Amino acid sequence: MKKAKRIIVWFRKDLRLHDNEALTQALANSEEVIPVYVFNSEKLMGETLIGYQKTGKHRAKFLLESVAALRADFRALGIDLVIRFGKPEEEIFELAKATEANWVYANMERTQDEVQVQNALEKNLWSIGSEIQFFRGKMLYYTQDLPFPISHSPDIFNSFRKEVERFVPVRTPFDTPQIFPKWSTAIEVGELPALTDFGHQPFEPDERNYLPFVGGEAAGLARLETYFGERHLEQYRKQHLELQGLNNSSKLSPWLALGCLSPKLVCTRIKAYEDQHKSNKSTQEFLLELLVRDYLRLMGKKYGKCIFEEGGILGRETKSLVADEEKLQQWIAGKTEQPLINACMQQLAAVGYLSAKGRQLVSSYLVNDMHVDWRMGAAYFQYILIDYDICSNWVNWNIVGGVGPDPKDDKALTIENQQKKLDPQGEYLARWLTDSLQGA
Ligand SMILES: Cc1cc2nc3c(=O)[nH]c(=O)nc-3n(C[C@H](O)[C@H](O)[C@H](O)COP(=O)(O)OP(=O)(O)OC[C@H]3O[C@@H](n4cnc5c(N)ncnc54)[C@H](O)[C@@H]3O)c2cc1C
């Protein structure tokens, strides 16, 4: 087949060279590849349901670092990463027009706003005789390998697991491309924006953080190697639901959320670990969490915009929750009656990250003790999380709100008991609570 002259690769939540199907295919099918990243003004500066900016400072910084790292990688390979700021459907269309690109290749997104953007771009491209082609790359599994269509994905996690885990192989990750043909046309590559362009002031990292998260593929790969190479995985089953620590869990979520790391690569690393040190309850538990991630994504695909609505996936209200702005602000500021909740919320505000157990505690408390609309909590997480992932966040919040796919999952937690169990010496409270915020 004759190669296309030029293909644009639109980077989205796949900010990596390894295991990048769109990039690999573009290289194979064209004489020239033009990688581009568009800082989506609506995603960065638009407002959430509760009026907060959609992307808070922690994630904005991590994103900037990740895009800068990707640009440096392309420059080292003799080409560049084109950078734009605005609406992807317009910016990429203009780039395709200017460079007379035959195709735009991109990894597919499935959630409401993202689909609208990719559909609008596709329509624009048709007007200049160019087209868009989509590839996969966010999940461990390919939907086409699953033994059921998305519309029949089991709603109960255990059923999903039984049908998938043993029977569907995880495909081998694509190699990192090493050689890129030089561009034969002049392209305005664009400047990397600054944090202030997104309405945030530069800030110093908080020294209390267990891991200073730095964006980019190399940093993600380095964390992967540290966590597995130093065998912290061995303690995963025992420790991953602890509230604090550097290695109690992998802390890979920010890199996975932006696609600096591919889940298939992480899986391959676990398999290599198992070959070396044997499969055990910890390696199995870790793989299970990656499976949960896929399951939540499939629930997002199956139920579409329902995951953002009050009745959620179930399509009905199950608890009497109120859109109480005052209580929401107490929760956000860490000024509730519960020091443990306050410490968790303080950690979250300070660094944009909270352990899995911390997330379970604060979300359960907002819904089951404060009786606040679960969507307000989800919207705050959307703003604050460094590892915000649309499906992981909204479907997890559906579950807490009692409107998730498997209602059995919805369990209220008794905070006092949890505090005794998780922080008997009060170390966690001492680390994250400031005096003025010990309780309301
Ligand atoms: C209300 C609520 C909201 C959440 N929002 C997000 C979110 O926006 N983004 C996000 O990545 N995770 C979210 N989680 C899931 C989970 O808390 C984080 O993935 C985990 O704490 C990240 O830390 P880690 O990388 O050390 O996880 P590890 O325990 O080391 O797990 C490895 C990886 O598995 C995946 N994973 C683990 N647990 C879950 C889970 N319950 N759901 C989905 N994926 C999981 C993550 O990609 C994680 O990086 C949410 C959980 C709750 C209860």
Out of 157, 286, 289, give the residue to mutate to test ligand 1, the one with the largest number of ligand atoms within 8 Å of its CB: 289
The predicted pLDDT at position 437 comes to 43
34 CA distance to ligand 1 centroid (A)?
33
- Give the span between the Cα atoms of 54 and 378, in whole angstroms: 11
Q: Is the dihedral of CA 119, 194, 377, 249 positive or negative?
A: positive
Beta bridge partners of 106: 10, 134
The predicted pLDDT at position 319 comes to 76
- Give the span between the Cα atoms of 372 and 331, in whole angstroms: 10
Out of 253, 269, 400, give the residue to mutate to test ligand 1, the one with the largest number of ligand atoms within 8 Å of its CB: 253
Q: Which atom of ligand 1 lies nearest, measured to the CA of 290?
A: 34
Q: Which atom of ligand 1 lies nearest, measured to the CA of 251?
A: 26
352 CA distance to ligand 1 centroid (A)?
13
Backbone angles phi, psi at 7, to 5 degrees: -125, 130
Topology of the domain comprising 308-437: DNA Cyclobutane Dipyrimidine Photolyase, subunit A; domain 3 (1.10.579)
- Rounded alpha-carbon distances, angstroms, from residue 351 to 329, 346, 422: 18, 9, 20
55 CA distance to ligand 1 centroid (A)?
18
Q: Which atom of ligand 1 lies nearest, measured to the CA of 250?
A: 30
The predicted pLDDT at position 343 comes to 98
358 CA distance to ligand 1 centroid (A)?
11
The predicted pLDDT at position 435 comes to 58
Q: Which residue's alpha carbon is nearest to atom 12 within ligand 1? A: 392
Q: Where are the domains of the chain?
A: 1-137, 308-437
The predicted pLDDT at position 414 comes to 86
Beta bridge partners of 11: 37
Q: Is the dihedral of CA 420, 438, 250, 405 positive or negative?
A: positive
The predicted pLDDT at position 110 comes to 86
- Rounded alpha-carbon distances, angstroms, from residue 147 to 156, 160, 168, 363, 381: 15, 10, 8, 33, 33
249 CA distance to ligand 1 centroid (A)?
10
The predicted pLDDT at position 439 comes to 37
Q: Which atom of ligand 1 lies nearest, measured to the CA of 382?
A: 8
Q: Which atom of ligand 1 lies nearest, measured to the CA of 388?
A: 8
Please state which CATH number belongs to domain 1-137.
3.40.50.620
The predicted pLDDT at position 2 comes to 83
The predicted pLDDT at position 28 comes to 96
The predicted pLDDT at position 63 comes to 98
The predicted pLDDT at position 406 comes to 83
- Give the span between the Cα atoms of 240 and 245, in whole angstroms: 9
pLDDT in 10s for each residue of the chain, 440 residues: 788 899 999 999 999 999 999 999 999 999 999 999 999 999 999 999 999 999 999 999 999 999 999 999 999 999 999 999 999 999 999 999 999 999 999 999 888 899 999 999 999 999 999 999 999 989 999 999 999 999 999 999 999 999 998 889 999 999 999 999 999 999 999 999 999 999 999 999 999 999 999 999 999 999 999 999 999 999 999 999 999 999 999 999 999 999 999 999 999 999 999 999 999 999 999 999 999 999 999 999 999 999 999 999 999 877 789 999 999 999 999 999 999 999 999 999 999 999 999 999 999 999 999 999 999 999 999 999 999 999 999 999 999 999 999 876 667 778 888 999 999 999 999 999 985 444 33
Give residue ranges with CB within 6 A of ligand 1. Answer: 240, 249-253, 256-257, 289-290, 292-293, 296, 355-356, 359-360, 363, 381, 385, 387-389, 392-393, 396-397, 400
